[in-house]
Amino acid sequence: MSTLYIILTVLFYLIMPAFVLRLCYVSKMANKIGTVLLCYIIGLIFGQLFIGDVNSNIPDILSTILVPLSLPMLLFETDLKKWKRVAGKSFISMIIAIVGLVISISVGYLIFKDRLPEADKVGGLLAGLYTGGTPNLASIKIALGIDEATYIAVNTADICIGALYVLFLISFAKKVFSKILPPYKGATSDTQAYTEGLPEENRVIKRLKSWIRYVSFPNILAAFGVSLLIAAISAAVGFLLIKNEAFQMAALILMITTLSIIAATLKPIKKIKGSFDTGMYLILIFSIVVASMADLSSFSDAVLPLLGYVAIATFGTLILHILGCKIFKVDVDTAIVTSAALICSPPFVPVVCGAIKNRDVMVSGLTIGIIGYAVGNYLGVLIAYIL
């Protein structure tokens, strides 16, 4: 892999969101599609054309860097008082989602157990993955002694089905589920005014010069500096103090979330303007990077049962989750963000919050994701043995 190729690939990831934002400003059709959705589509196309097995380490490295950097900036303007008002509903939504996941995985196992080798272990992988995330997937693979081929196939199937899942969440989910679930009532006039500044509303590109004067490069550098400090401290705790690899990633994200919320209460941090906008730009980069990691060419008729199993686990959980939220009167925004936190993992929470234009539910979504990391390994192994 040449140095020039690496540089051009990285520049593509870094600059493309700016073109997408500009496109959404000049094109009404692009604006209706949305920046996050466009970035995801571009990432999928770019990945199939230019990212292969040899070059897959580039998006891996970038995604690893982007998450610790973006989360603090997205949380610097967090208002904990608003989260306290929705914490109860968020917890109920999480329990409903996990119950729905167990049911969906069990149904999928009964359907595909005769056509899919080690269907019980695959069920365990999916239980851990859709409660926590990729770290749980890796640790459950070791715990259950799953071979590399099965592990890679499940991971790739998850990326492909997950892409469709995320596309639905950030495009039509709120419109569809608003007909079933009650609206979110926690938003205030301040929050509604703030959502007009999200990248989806194109404030950055619409008035670029005025935005730069508002944010200023010192503010951007300050946001990056504090984020780097938080990420460094979190890494020290996650990777130096905690020796168990299964819990290192959970500890890392937990520390980043906790320290960022603490930092958000400090007056010097509150004075940093535009930190959320900067963090959202990194999330747009993350969306392109993650989408480009999907390997669609690796599939054949032999893995169709696996795709079916993953689809049932993903969308079956969503359907049961929404039905349960209807019964327990959980609002639509909380339900969507809870689903994103568990099925897609915490890094996708800001993406979905931006798409549904409600940052009030971000902290509760991240918190649910952290709980998912903590219980994912236990649930995954337990489900595999039960099946």
Predicted TM-score (pTM) of the model is 0.67
Euclidean distance between the first and final Cα of the chain, in Å? 44
Q: What letter would DSSP give residue 244?
A: -
- Looking at residue 189, its pLDDT comes to 38
- Looking at residue 124, its pLDDT comes to 92
Give CA–CA dist 65/256, Å, rounded: 13
Residue 9 lies in a domain: no
Q: Which amino acid is at 32?
A: K
Residue 318 lies in a domain: yes
Helices 57-75, 245-264: inter-axial angle, 10-degree rounding: 30
- Looking at residue 282, its pLDDT comes to 86
Residue 382 lies in a domain: yes
Residue 227 lies in a domain: yes
pLDDT averaged over consecutive 10-residue blocks of the chain (387 residues)?
80 89 81 77 83 68 80 74 66 93 95 88 92 76 76 80 88 90 68 38 46 65 88 82 67 79 83 78 83 65 81 95 94 92 83 83 82 82 90
- Looking at residue 204, its pLDDT comes to 45
Q: What letter would DSSP give residue 52?
A: -
Distances from the Cα of 114 to the Cαs of 77, 119, 123, 302, in angstroms?
A: 51, 8, 13, 13
| Cβ–Cβ < 8 Å for 338, 154 | no
- Looking at residue 302, its pLDDT comes to 55
Residue 121 lies in a domain: yes
- Looking at residue 1, its pLDDT comes to 57
Residue 263 lies in a domain: yes
Residue 381 lies in a domain: yes
Residue 325 lies in a domain: yes
Question: What is the tally of structural domains in the chain?
Answer: 1
In order, the DSSP letters of 58-84 are: HHHHHHHHHHHHHHHHHHTT--HHHHH
Q: Which domain holds residue 168?
A: 67-192+216-276+295-386
| Cβ–Cβ < 8 Å for 136, 369 | no
Give CA–CA dist 344/374, Å, rounded: 15
Extract the tokens encoding 252. Answer: 């890392």
